[in-house]
Amino acid sequence: MQRVTIMDVAARAKLSPSTVSLYFRKPGAVSAAASASIARAIEALDYVPNLMAGGLAAASSRVASIIVPSVRNAFFAETVAAMQAELGKQRLQVMLGHTEYDEREEEDLVRTALSWAPAAIVLTGLSHSAVTRRLLRDSHVPVVEIWELGGEPIDMAVGFHHAEVGSMAASHLMQRGRKRLVFLGARLQEDRRAGQRAQGFVDTARSVPDVSAEIIRHPAPATAEVGAMLLAEALRRCPEVDGIACSNDHIALGAMFECQRLGVAIPGRLSVVGFGDLSFSAACNPSMTTIRPPGDLIGKEAARLLIARIASTDATTERAVIDTRFSLLHRQSS
Amino acid sequence: MQRVTIMDVAARAKLSPSTVSLYFRKPGAVSAAASASIARAIEALDYVPNLMAGGLAAASSRVASIIVPSVRNAFFAETVAAMQAELGKQRLQVMLGHTEYDEREEEDLVRTALSWAPAAIVLTGLSHSAVTRRLLRDSHVPVVEIWELGGEPIDMAVGFHHAEVGSMAASHLMQRGRKRLVFLGARLQEDRRAGQRAQGFVDTARSVPDVSAEIIRHPAPATAEVGAMLLAEALRRCPEVDGIACSNDHIALGAMFECQRLGVAIPGRLSVVGFGDLSFSAACNPSMTTIRPPGDLIGKEAARLLIARIASTDATTERAVIDTRFSLLHRQSS
DNA sequence: GAGGCGGATCGTAGCGCTATGATTTTCGGG
DNA sequence: CCCGAAAATCATAGCGCTACGATCCGCCTC
């Protein structure tokens, strides 16, 4: 009573193991008669291929290792889900790793990922330890970095420029006649990309005469509670504030609720712009103006790039960098 | 210029491959001197172990396959993240699969998962195809089913009874003096567990004299927009409604926003109870009464069970079933 | 009817590691 | 110092599959 192998299937189908192997790898290359009898044998024996043996022999596995800060974050969850859906169609497995915004952790995850001779590795952002970069380069495994553009990618990249997001938020607020701008940011040190949005925001605002802009920070992760606290602080530190941009919609929602409690009219006295277009943003009251990052598209495009690279035998495929852009959804809060 | 193997490391450390292998598998069994020289060799050669070769030889891999409906859903994202954190400490990799609430898809995912000779498989819910169950039973791989209790688990289970959630919501509303109860539910057919909550809700409510309860459904996924629509319909179909429970907090939030727009006082005229305690629930205005499922705990406990089972050589470990319970957070909306 | 060609099938040598039992080394006590 | 047990180390036979080149077979052409 031991494991059914490809040999058992071959014996039962009265064919050689090579043909059965071929049946899995290049179905078109096996005759219809042989295919049918192999299929019957598989069925009868309940054969489950051993992908580790296959991967070992082929010196590469059909695994894509995806490394994100955390799948608790709706942005990355969306991208991971989209990517998994696309990769799954090509029978590529997804191995998942969480860095929790820690570069050392990421390095460990990359090391482990490489132990599986993966077909591809996906990393979040462009900022990695020197060791991570070396490991990845030496491995010759296709790499896609997602959710950030603007630096030098290791290999391929799919994402957008976060500074431009901040810039767009500032422009929008100024277009609405706002001049005293504040950026509410949670966890700006760990979350480099949120930091870039903040920086883009103040840079753009301050380049215009008569407009002031400042950043108010909180070290905790972005939640509505933190948003409420940040708004209260903004009002304290800068009572004449009339335009608010937030590091994401959680913060914006908390800020809007706090305004409601304090009787600050939105958008009458204060305009609010978020980032993310989360599940509640369109529905809330007033509905939230926000900038929508295409998390889904990032996943799809990253998968597409990887699949193309894996398929192409010649390793000279170009090192694609895809700018997915993003869009501002103008709603009632501004 | 080819791959560095355990042999190369052994040669450089002037030891046998077995000892190097032992160094990875049972570090304590190797002398300090040998360990040091192996560590030096690994460093010098930049050795990356090949886990597929290891898995093949050992007939089992340090991979845990986690299969959830979708990681886009914050509940499962939380559990996956918690589980990954715990499993990662034991150097167990996570492979992720998304069923999108489709049993056939799940079956495929299980089949593929088994191809990796995983150390464990995690499934969501207790409802699976007959083939899935057979495959899993025959494989002798430890299985944990999460997020649902009440049926016959394949092996182990960690979760809670969803009918009890509905029951608790109904009891709470009745305790607050509400008698015309409505359950707002999105996607109740696909999401069996939401259906169980709805059923528990009406069963409990209807067992009390003078209390009415009905379910209002929508086939789309749970979003705040759907919640707003459902609330409007509830008011239309049952104008004297005074207590609302929702299949989750997205629905509840949408319902609350819609009440705000329609001038329906919460909790004055209408009490609202959600499910999930999502990021915005405590912060919204009025703050939302909701039932919090311990997604994090489910992940931790599932991981703990798996780790214990993997460690125990004797396969006679009991088939644990852990009821994590849940709790109602009474806030302003009820 | 021989020759040749292309598609289908086959035989087999590893891929890099682990498990097992064997062997060597170490060390304390008599 | 020698002995025995315990600790450390070693040698080797696969794990199940794929890749490669070899072989087979049917059919068309001249």
Query: Span A225-241, mean pLDDT?
Result: 96
CA distance B122 to B16: 38
* Cβ-based neighbours of A166, under 8 Å, separated by 6 or more: A183, A196, A197, A198, A199, A200, A201, A202, A203, A204, A245
Name the more confident of A91 and B183: B183
Is A97 a residue whose pLDDT tops 90? Answer: yes
Contact between A77 and B78 using a beta-carbon 8 Å cutoff: no
When pLDDT is cut at 50, 70 and 90, the band that residue A314 belongs to is low
Low-confidence ranges of chain B (pLDDT < 70): 1-2, 313-318
Q: Is the dihedral of CA B252, B256, B261, B263 positive or negative?
A: positive
Name the more confident of A232 and B284: A232
The per-residue pLDDT for B3 is 83
Helix or strand or coil: residue A305?
helix
State how far residue B27 is from chain A, nearest Cα, in angstroms.
18
> What is the average pLDDT score of chain A?
94
For residue range A54-72, what is the model confidence (pLDDT) as tens digits?
A: 999 999 899 999 999 999 9
For residue range A286-310, what is the model confidence (pLDDT) as tens digits?
A: 999 999 999 999 999 999 999 998 8
The per-residue pLDDT for B314 is 56
Domains belonging to chain A, first-starting first, are 6-49 (no CATH), 59-160+296-325 (3.40.50.2300), 162-292 (3.40.50.2300)
**Per-position b or e across A281-307, b if 16+ CB within 10 A of its CB:** bbbbbbbbbbbbbbbbbbbbbbbbbbb
* Cβ-based neighbours of A296, under 8 Å, separated by 6 or more: A78, A79, A82
Contact between A117 and B50 using a beta-carbon 8 Å cutoff: yes
Helix or strand or coil: residue A299?
helix
Using alpha carbons, select from A39, A50, A49, A31 the residue that is nearest to residue A13.
Answer: A39
Contact between B279 and A223 using a beta-carbon 8 Å cutoff: yes
The per-residue pLDDT for A327 is 97
Q: Which of residues 14-33 of A touch strand C (CB under 7 A)?
A: 14-19, 22, 29-31, 33
The per-residue pLDDT for A259 is 96
The per-residue pLDDT for B316 is 57
**Kind of pairing, strands B93-98 and B243-246?**
unpaired
The per-residue pLDDT for B313 is 61
Q: How far apart are the first and last CA of chain A?
A: 69
Q: What percent of chain A has pLDDT over 90?
A: 90
Structure tokens at A80: 């991971």
State how far residue B211 is from chain A, nearest Cα, in angstroms.
31
> Nearest nucleotide, C1' to the C-alpha of A22?
D18
Q: Evaluate whether A190 touches A254 at the Cβ level (below 8 Å).
A: no
Determine whether the distance from the CB of B117 to the nearest atom of strand C is below 7 Å.
Answer: no
The per-residue pLDDT for A316 is 57
Determine whether the distance from the CB of B130 to the nearest atom of strand C is below 7 Å.
Answer: no
When pLDDT is cut at 50, 70 and 90, the band that residue A315 belongs to is low
Lowest mean pLDDT among A34-38, A256-260, A328-332, B280-284: B280-284
Alpha helices in A46-129 (DSSP H): 51-58, 74-89, 103-114
Q: Which residue of B has its CA nearest to A77?
A: B72
> Nearest nucleotide, C1' to the C-alpha of A7?
D16
Edge-to-edge strands of the sheet including A327-329?
A212-218, A180-186, A243-246, A271-275, A289-292, A327-329
The per-residue pLDDT for B283 is 84
